[in-house]
Amino acid sequence: MREINPRICDTTLRDGSHAMAHQFTPEQVRAVVSGLAEAGVPVIEVSHGDGLGGSSFQYGFSKVPEEQLLAAAADAIKDKKLAVLLLPGIGTKEELRMAAAYGAKVARICTHVTEADICEQHIGLAKQLGMEVVGFLMLAHMVPPEKIVEQGKLMESYGADCVYVTDSAGAMTPRDVRERVTALREALNIEVGFHAHMNLALGVANTLEAIECGATQVDGATCGLGAGAGNTPTEILVAVLDKLGYKTGIDVRKIMDVAEDIVRPMMPRPQVIDRAALSLGYYGVYSSFLLHTYRAAERFGVDARDILAELGRRKVVGGQEDMIVDVAVELARQQGKEPAAVGRA
């Protein structure tokens, strides 16, 4: 019997938005939230994949306004907590206020792992609105543990209740997770969390490692629905933690049913680790680049892996989706394709 039980946040309706090309409907949101709440998932995240206000040419337009999805979620969530994601620079305090008005109780505020000082006002506002605040340090594989500690302390000083080691590229091995989570645990007086992607097939193992190192909040997505090869599948994580004696408060059979009966039929494509998804983890590239990279690779006639390798080499960060086309055009030109043809494709 474990003393500390991790709290699971299900992000099917946020990270999964990437895999759905941001086409979730209010009916789908209502069905998934309802199932997750019934299964006992304590925190349920709903937002555009790139956070509130993410609907754009750059990331993909949402099928329906975010307000409608939040309203549908709030309607079905019962006593569970509604979480939203916000990336300062993309969304603003205005969207955070809107989400709070729709009943969001947890604000997950994300910055690149070295740029925490851009979110002071957003964390401050979320606290002022009475929300619980989680600070997300994205692409945490890119810097050593000391840097994560420095940035995590900033988020703590702004009022965050928890800081996440966010493996946005699904590029970490269990050792990377251990070093980072342990360092944050030792340096902070607030909770530490962990968010994984399946690009190297290590999502469940890494999440387990994080929990063993003291992470008390972890993320999952049913059927793994998420960017890249997807996130740690909530139903698998719940089953594994149950076997190990952790109490997540989530019913193993019911969460399996949510995944299989509600979420799987919505999925446009299976969540697999193909060579492009594996390349995300291998080259350390932001997972949401996957579908955009497929499109650019096809449009400009270049190998998706070449695009991802080049993006990794340039140390592109989360949100720089415009670089995919930029790099694809450059590669096409290097490979002898006519620039005019490229331009008029």
Partner 1 sequence: MPKIKTAIIGSGNIGTDLMYKLLRSPWLELTMMVGIDPTSEGLARARALGIATTDKGIEDFLRQPEVAEIVFDATSAKAHRQHAPLLEQAGKIVIDLTPAAIGKYVVPPVNLGAHLDAKNVNLVSCGGQATIPIVAAIRRVQPVKYAEIVATIASKSAGPGTRQNIDEFTQTTAQGLVDMGGAERGKAIIILNPAEPPIIMRNTIYAMVEDPDQAAITKSILDMVRTVQEYVPGYRLRTEPLFDGNKVTVFIEVEGAGDYLPTYSGNLDIMTAAAVKVGEEFAKYLLAKRGAAVPAGV
Q: Which residues bind partner 1 (CB under 8 A)?
A: 56-58, 88-90, 92-94, 112, 114-115, 117-118, 120-121, 314-320, 322-323, 325-326, 329-330, 339-340, 342-345
Do 133 and 123 meet the contact criterion of CB atoms below 8 Å apart? Answer: yes
Output 149 or 342, the one with its CB closest to partner 1. 342
Provide the minimum distance between the beta carbon of 42 and partner 1 in the complex, in angstroms, as a whole number: 30
Q: Which is nearer to partner 1, 26 or 53 (CB)?
A: 53
Q: What CA–CA distance (Å, rounded) separates 66 from 337?
A: 40
Q: C-alpha 112: how far from its chain's center? A: 13
Two tokens at 307? 């695009």
- Minimal distance in Å, beta carbon 266 to partner 1? 26
Pick the closer one to partner 1 by CB: 275 or 314: 314
Return the closest-CA partner of residue 96 out of 126, 65, 59.
Answer: 126
Task: Give me the least distance between CB of 313 and partner 1, in Å please.
Answer: 10
Distance CA 216, CA 213 (A): 9
Give the separation between CA 65 and CA 95, rounded to whole angstroms.
Answer: 12
Q: Say if residues 187 and 149 touch (Cβ distance below 8 Å).
A: yes
Confirm whether 195 is a catalytic residue. no
Q: Shortest distance, CB of residue 58 to partner 1, whole angstroms?
A: 5
Q: What are phi and psi of 157, to 5 degrees?
A: -65, -25
Closest CA to 214 of 182, 187, 238: 182
* Smallest distance, partner 1 to C-beta of residue 134, A: 19
Among the listed residues 18, 122, 141, 195, the single catalytic one is 18
Task: Report the nearest approach of partner 1 to the CB of residue 237 (Å).
Answer: 31
Indicate the length of the chain as a whole number.
345
Distance CA(291)–CA(276), nearest Å, equals: 9
Phi and psi (nearest 5°) for 19?
-65, -25
Nearer to partner 1, 14 or 112 (CB): 112
Question: Residue holding tokens 């690149």?
Answer: 112
- 175/314 with CB nearer partner 1: 314
Closest to partner 1 by CB, 175 vs 315, is 315
132, with CB counted inside 10 A (0-12, 13-18, 19+), is middle
Q: How far apart are CA 231 and CA 226, in angstroms?
A: 5
Catalytic residue positions, numbered: 18
